[in-house]
Amino acid sequence: MEIVLVHPEIPHNTGCAARLAAATGSRLHLVEPLGFSLEDRYLKRAGLDYWPMVDLVVHRDLEAAWEFLRQGSDRPLEQRLRLFSARGGVSLFEASFEPGDLLVFGSEGSGLPEELVSAHPEGRLYIPIRSGVRSLNLANAVSLGVYTALSRGGGPLPDNDGSYHAHPAANEDVRPRDRVQGD
C-alpha cells in the first residue's frame, strides 16, 4: 500500500502520516502545493526520529504523481485508487483491497479535489462517523485506512513482537527534506 496526501495543510498531520509510513513500510507521497515547508519544525517533530525510515516522494502536482505511480505496476492506476472522502462511497470496513493500492487522502480544509472524486466514483471510500461530525482528523483517517487496507488486502503487517530496537540512523539529525525523492 502507498499513502498519497493531496495538498496537506497541517504539518503535524503529515508528520504523523510519515511516522505511520515508517512503522508500516509504506511509501508516503505528498502532492504540492503543501500548506507548510518541509523544513517546518512541527513536521519534523511529529515524525520524531523516524525520518530515516520514511520513503518520501514529493510531486509538483497530481498529474506528476499519477505519472510516477503508473510506473512499476501491472495494474492500471485507476484500479489501484482508493479515494478517502467524508462524503460517501463504500465503507472502509466493507471495501476490498489489494497489495499495491494507493490510499489517497485530501487536504484538511477541503478534502480531495471534486474532479478527482467525480472521475473515479468506484474508488471512493468513507470512514463511518456519527451524524453531526463533519470529518475525522487526517492523521487518524490515514491510520485507520492504512492498517485496515493492510489487514483486509493481504498485505504483510509489520512483524513485531512488541519490542523496540532503535533504527541505526535514529540519532542522526535527518530532516524531512533530506528524505525527499520526486519529480
Of 21-30, 117-126, 132-141, 152-161, give the lowest mean pLDDT range.
152-161
Please check the confidence at residue 183 and state whether its pLDDT lies above 60: no
Q: Which residues contact 101 (CB under 8 A, 6 or more apart)?
A: 1, 2, 80, 81, 82, 149, 153
Distance CA 19, CA 71 (A): 25
Report the CATH architecture of 2-158+165-182. 3-Layer(aba) Sandwich (3.40)
pLDDT per residue as tens digits for the range 75-116:
999 999 999 998 789 999 999 999 999 999 999 999 999 999
What is the grid cell recorded at 98? 489489494
Domain boundaries, the chain: 2-158+165-182
pLDDT per residue as tens digits for the range 9-50:
999 999 999 999 999 999 999 999 999 888 877 777 776 677
In this prediction the pTM is 0.88
State the pLDDT at residue 134: 85
What is the residue whose three cell numbers read 493481504?
A: 154
**For 50, which DSSP code?**
G
Distance CA 17, CA 21 (A): 6
Distance CA 114, CA 135 (A): 16
Q: Bridge partners of 82?
A: 103
Phi, psi of 146 (to 5 degrees): -65, -50
